[in-house]
Amino acid sequence: MPSTVVVKNVPRPDLALLNRLGQFGVATVHEAQGRTGLLAPYMRPIYAGAKASGSALTVLAHPGDNTMLHVAAEVCRPGDVIVVALSSENSDGLLGELLATSFRARGAVGLVIDAGCRDVAEMAKMGFPVWSKAISAKGTVKATLGSVNVPVVCAGAVVQPGDAILADDDGIVTVPQSELDAVLQAAQQREEREAKVRARLAAGELGLDIYNMRPKLAQLGLTYIEPPPSGGAQT
Amino acid sequence: MPSTVVVKNVPRPDLALLNRLGQFGVATVHEAQGRTGLLAPYMRPIYAGAKASGSALTVLAHPGDNTMLHVAAEVCRPGDVIVVALSSENSDGLLGELLATSFRARGAVGLVIDAGCRDVAEMAKMGFPVWSKAISAKGTVKATLGSVNVPVVCAGAVVQPGDAILADDDGIVTVPQSELDAVLQAAQQREEREAKVRARLAAGELGLDIYNMRPKLAQLGLTYIEPPPSGGAQT
Amino acid sequence: MPSTVVVKNVPRPDLALLNRLGQFGVATVHEAQGRTGLLAPYMRPIYAGAKASGSALTVLAHPGDNTMLHVAAEVCRPGDVIVVALSSENSDGLLGELLATSFRARGAVGLVIDAGCRDVAEMAKMGFPVWSKAISAKGTVKATLGSVNVPVVCAGAVVQPGDAILADDDGIVTVPQSELDAVLQAAQQREEREAKVRARLAAGELGLDIYNMRPKLAQLGLTYIEPPPSGGAQT
Amino acid sequence: MPSTVVVKNVPRPDLALLNRLGQFGVATVHEAQGRTGLLAPYMRPIYAGAKASGSALTVLAHPGDNTMLHVAAEVCRPGDVIVVALSSENSDGLLGELLATSFRARGAVGLVIDAGCRDVAEMAKMGFPVWSKAISAKGTVKATLGSVNVPVVCAGAVVQPGDAILADDDGIVTVPQSELDAVLQAAQQREEREAKVRARLAAGELGLDIYNMRPKLAQLGLTYIEPPPSGGAQT
Amino acid sequence: MPSTVVVKNVPRPDLALLNRLGQFGVATVHEAQGRTGLLAPYMRPIYAGAKASGSALTVLAHPGDNTMLHVAAEVCRPGDVIVVALSSENSDGLLGELLATSFRARGAVGLVIDAGCRDVAEMAKMGFPVWSKAISAKGTVKATLGSVNVPVVCAGAVVQPGDAILADDDGIVTVPQSELDAVLQAAQQREEREAKVRARLAAGELGLDIYNMRPKLAQLGLTYIEPPPSGGAQT
Amino acid sequence: MPSTVVVKNVPRPDLALLNRLGQFGVATVHEAQGRTGLLAPYMRPIYAGAKASGSALTVLAHPGDNTMLHVAAEVCRPGDVIVVALSSENSDGLLGELLATSFRARGAVGLVIDAGCRDVAEMAKMGFPVWSKAISAKGTVKATLGSVNVPVVCAGAVVQPGDAILADDDGIVTVPQSELDAVLQAAQQREEREAKVRARLAAGELGLDIYNMRPKLAQLGLTYIEPPPSGGAQT
């Protein structure tokens, strides 16, 4: 049970694939892989329009302690998205603009943290996208070791080192490296289907017809009625 | 106990009245009808400056299931605000930009949902205003029926089909159809009174004097003192 | 046990010191005074880029009752930041743009409230910065007395009347009047140190080296390993 | 818009029907009326084994103010369950053992409050069952009027005066007076069906067979597989 | 700014006074001192019937670190109630039965912690009363210093070392040492008054009459009406 | 991406090992495996003194849908603890006493569900231990497939099918099958060490000495002072 390890040289997905991933939205990719891989919705971007697509460099840290983020910076490579999980619930500001500067200098394209971050105005100005569960100026210590590049549970989802990570205004989704190709294809097909559906909906057609929902609704017993004559609504 | 009905042809307020309603703010209208009708403050707009005023088309849906939103689109009319209540607490993204496109094509002017929504960047670009309790990319199924245009409890408030709905940066308020005229008059008077008060406050006059609060404060025993000499603050 | 008092003529910090304080960020000042004085992170500004630095005019109010905010306006002086604590948890909109207009007319430079506020669009347009735990149009009564300029617990932190208050996108920090000078010096030194560290980090140097963390990490037993050969990640 | 009324002489269900209702559990009755009428699960009894069945005497109160509970006591009749809704979120202890003594003396058989209560040890000793969202010793004022026996939204459910209320360890359900007879019959049938199912389940039969679920599961594509040979768990 | 101190030999209230305090309930004492001093209601006892009355030995600890509880044990004296505040929100189990054994051996009569505790079954068996915001088996480290016997904010209330602390099923209240005598007298008087009121309420008299509320209710405009004839409930 | 599978014949730990596990407490086992494997503390037992130790039969279910619990019953074996994870946050009552009867008949020794349960009085009477995040009578549908015996994230922790599960009043911990032997040994040693420590603490010895904490505290700069002479507490 070695509880504090740093795994080096984790295999990453091809950067070209990560770039293609970044052309989709989180909702599309989540659907394309069978509605899996989504982090919990309490994770929010620090500015509207934030977007990142990269390879997960995972960090397991402890409440109020940012030691392992510094350790992670050393093994960070271009195209990485840092994914920070905590050993227990905490909202302290483990990430600030100094660390963000360091991660950016090492090639990181974004950061996801199931805790707090601070210096959000500076990080927004830098254009360094961060998703967190809180914004907090609470400072941290450097006292306790965690791990880097081990599987973690971040905001309710398992993230493996080297997973593809996609994050935007809708949230964050993780895609296993082995499934990235298939998911990209499925996402592409989904987008094409949706473009056609969008045009029909915009023209006034109904999802009831486009998705052929009427037979099932009838079978389930959906009933259409008129409002009661005197308008006396009852609850 | 017919548990899954769609009520068609619900009487709506006059569009001219709904437009007038849209010229006020939510706080003003809430006050004008005796501090009632407000939805809970956890409901937030997906972009700053969102505003909608329309007739409530109510939807009762189930966690993780957006069937009834498609059903609602068919009975939607120009000027409607879709109001989605859930049968139990849930934050899944029942609404995305495809459904928003459909609602807009049918004339809806906004949507209020006591659950999650996704594709928020796209909906903001469309200028389709949405108020929700969460932003979540979590996809949904189409398996279980609810109802359309029945009275619902949405974010702690009863909304009747055909109620006037007003929503802005401050939240959401519902006005019974039968009281809309009276509420509009009261709101108008309130705005005029407030304009005068605002000018006096801006000039440095005090609410204590404008609202004649001093006698009551004195009667309740308010005491003015100087700080203790040595500055020894006590808690 | 006089439970409803208004303390007049509370000594304030020098305006020049408060202006200097406003040139730092909340995170810096929080660190500079030994990681103390921070309000809880659920307090959020009503618009991005909000910033205020002033002397605390404290208010103890009751749920759903804004009487004491009107009382506070009378004893407000230029440079004050109004700090409103509640006697129990509440999110009603105790502050709206009329009261904000009054506070601004009396010289207040911002407001912090451990409850709700409304008219956020108008207050943003005015450029009156507010930090609150909720946005709520819920109106209030004027029925029960609290106090003004007594020590309060606001969002988990003790605020004394006349404390220096600094608030920005990262949150809110309070600095005891007697420590303001020392904290300003420490903040200045911290900023200078951080500028140097930032430049080194931006150039690719690691925090591990800059902060000399490697010996401690080694002592604590940090181990670097390669990933398992077959890529079989285990949780 | 009369905002503060007390409705007297509200018609109640027959006491015999309320007694019969009390012989069922909340879950059974909730199912028997088509999965409706349930209050939110954050409402908890103050002691294990609490149970009440009666006619709803509704109260709309304000945060931190218990005036209307005293008003309600006067119109309380034997067999009533007091149902207290708040005009906004609040956890103050609006109910204590003195008020409980008063309600019991007037014939009330229990109380449901979407706020806090105190003196829980005393009320448990009295055997007066209370369901609340918090236990809080926070005292209240008597300053602002609400209403008695108007429809309210309590813990997310509409409660009409004179509704039948059933509460136990599982929560609280409300049954419209006009549907009480039908719901009691449905509950009785449900209990009889469940007794048979229980016996079969206890004997080792499966719900899959008793409820004939296998054809639908097969149609939906459920697949049975063996674990991977090497035990390499994948997430 | 010495951030890590242990204050020794803090003056405590007389044990006889603390014993008298323990004969009252938390709600009574909170009222008797003007509705102040209450900790937030999310603090709950680990077993029903828990009660403690003692002198506050305050501890400021950090998330996930129980170092300072061990430090506190050394300066603990008979009659102390340990009051543990955290520097930021945390639910880890900082207290377990070993530490409880130590505190008890040093004379402590209870413990209040704004974080988690574990071994609750063992502590209940010992009869060592604990109030916490969570029950969590999450273990802790011993890495970072805090303070002992400095003023702290615990669950939203300021607690000074040597304050009298009273805790029971209703929550926790703190009484400044200098006010303990007066509060005990006021509590005694309150209990006597309440005994009389209780007897009258139990006999069916109404609070409306006992507290002479009717004139104020009439003045505020309370109106009594009969229900609408057709029973058509309106929301 | 087969999204709905049932894995049969998952290898389980030896029953004798599971029995040995049940002789320890959750906190001990969590510590013994390096402070890992703990589920989040919002999971609570439905009655005090609940305890279970068994092999994880995992279930991935959807909000408001208990289909997969019935599917799980068929592959349940004596000694299993059912561990139910949800695809998104939900508190509906997916488990009731009928299903509990079925699980018990198939040999299950307990159930852990990251959602709600109902019929808690009946399940307590049966002595069937359940840990859940809510108690809710909200009924469910049988419409959507999930999976059985796949790895799940339950209350923030990864649980693999066949993991050893231990649950008691302090919470729930999961132990990988491959580590069970080692963890049992470590737990045994820990208990023996703790018994000695407990005796010393009960005799008044301090953790400071037993754990040899004084040198580190001194090195970190812990300072002991006397209280200020005039007792003027400062915050």
Contact F27 E145 (CB under 8 A): no
Q: What is the pLDDT of residue D45?
A: 98
Contact D158 B157 (CB under 8 A): no
CA distance C131 to chain D (A): 20
Distance in angstroms (rounded) separating the CA atoms of residues C68 and C78: 19
Chain A positions touching B59 (Cβ under 8 A) are: none
**Each residue's pLDDT tens digit, D167-200:** 999 999 999 999 999 999 999 999 999 999 999 9
Residue numbers of C between 22 and 41 with CB closer than 8 Å to E:
33-36, 40
Q: What is the pLDDT of residue C229?
A: 76
Please check whether residue F143 touches B, CB under 8 A.
Answer: yes
Q: What is the pLDDT of residue D230?
A: 60
Contact E151 C158 (CB under 8 A): yes
Strands D5-7 and E223-225: parallel
Q: What is the pLDDT of residue A230?
A: 61
Nearest to F71 among D26, D30, D217 (CB): D217
Write the secondary structure of F73-132 as one string of H (helix), E (strand) and C (coil).
HHHCCCCEEEEEEECCCCCCEEECHHHHHHHHHCCCCEEEEEEEECCHHHHHHHCCCEEE
pLDDT at B231 over 60: no
Contact F157 A153 (CB under 8 A): yes
Chain A positions touching F34 (Cβ under 8 A) are: 1, 3
Angle, helix C97-105 to helix B180-202, in steps of 10 degrees = 10
Mean pLDDT score of chain A, rounded to an integer?
Answer: 95
Neighbours of chain B (3+ CB pairs under 8 A): A, C, D, E, F
Q: What is the pLDDT of residue E230?
A: 60
Average pLDDT over residues A74-90: 97
Q: What is the pLDDT of residue B228?
A: 81
Helix (H/G/I), strand (E/B), else coil: E30: helix
Q: What is the pLDDT of residue B45?
A: 98
Share of chain C above pLDDT 70, in %: 97
- Chain-centre distance for alpha carbon F61: 18
ipTM here: 0.94
Nearest CA in chain D to C230: D232
Closest CA to B77 of B17, B143, B149, B20: B149
Nearest to C64 among D88, D136, D233 (CB): D88
Q: Report the 10 Å Cβ neighbour count for E233.
A: 21
Please check whether residue A62 touches E, CB under 8 A.
Answer: yes
Q: What is the pLDDT of residue F230?
A: 60
| Residue C6, C-beta contacts closer than 8 angstroms, at least 6 positions apart | B222, B223, B224, B225, C71, C75, C147, C148, C149
Q: What is the pLDDT of residue D229?
A: 75
- Chain-centre distance for alpha carbon E26: 7
Cα dist. F110→A37, C76, C141, F46, F84 in Å? 28, 61, 51, 11, 11
Closest CA to E63 of F35, A65, C36, A85: A65
DSSP D24: S
Contact D153 B151 (CB under 8 A): no
The pLDDT confidence band at residue D228, using thresholds 50, 70 and 90, is confident
pLDDT at D233 over 90: no
pLDDT at F231 over 60: no
Chain B positions touching E158 (Cβ under 8 A) are: 235
- Indicate if the alpha-carbon torsion angle E171, E176, E182, E184 is positive or negative: positive
Please check whether residue F133 touches B, CB under 8 A.
Answer: no
Q: Buried b vs exposed e over D152-164: b needs ≥16 C-beta within 10 Å?
A: bbbbbbbbbbbbb
pLDDT at D99 over 50: yes
- The low-confidence residues of chain E, meaning pLDDT below 70, are 1-2, 230-235
Q: What is the pLDDT of residue A119?
A: 98
Angle, helix A180-202 to helix B97-105, in steps of 10 degrees = 10
Contact E153 C151 (CB under 8 A): no
pLDDT at A146 over 90: yes
Token output for D119: 């003196």
| Residue C94, C-beta contacts closer than 8 angstroms, at least 6 positions apart | C61, C64, C65, C66, C69, C84, C113, C115, C116, C117, C140
Nearest CA in chain B to E36: B235
Chain A positions touching B98 (Cβ under 8 A) are: 194, 197-198, 201, 207
DSSP A77: -
> C190 φ, ψ to 5°?
-60, -45
A116, A66 contact by CB (below 8 A): no
DSSP output for E121-149: HHHHHHT--EEEEEE-----B-----EES
Q: Which range is least confidently modeled, C182-196, E160-174, F215-229?
A: F215-229
CA distance A232 to chain D (A): 15
Nearest to F158 among A33, A153, A179 (CB): A153
pLDDT at F2 over 50: no
DSSP F54: E
pLDDT at B233 over 50: no
Average pLDDT over residues A73-79: 98
Neighbours of chain E (3+ CB pairs under 8 A): A, B, C, D, F
CA distance F199 to chain E (A): 9
Write the secondary structure of chain B as one string of H (helix), E (strand) and C (coil).
CCCCEEECCCCCCCHHHHHHHCCCCHHHHHHHCCCCCECCCCCEECCCCCCEEEEEEEEEEECCECHHHHHHHHHCCCCEEEEEEECCCCCCEEECHHHHHHHHHCCCCEEEEEEEECCHHHHHHHCCCEEEEEECCCCCECCCCCEECCCEEECCEEECCCCEEEEECCEEEEECHHHHHHHHHHHHHHHHHHHHHHHHHHCCCCHHHHCCCHHHHHHHCCEEECCCCCCCCCC
Nearest CA in chain C to F158: C235
More confident residue, B4 or C83: C83
F225, E5 contact by CB (below 8 A): yes
E125, E97 contact by CB (below 8 A): no
Average pLDDT over residues A192-218: 97
Average pLDDT over residues B116-132: 98
Nearest to D88 among C138, C143, C144 (CB): C138
Distance in angstroms (rounded) separating the CA atoms of residues D132 and D111: 8
CA angle in degrees (0–180, nearest 5) for F81-F83-F86 = 165
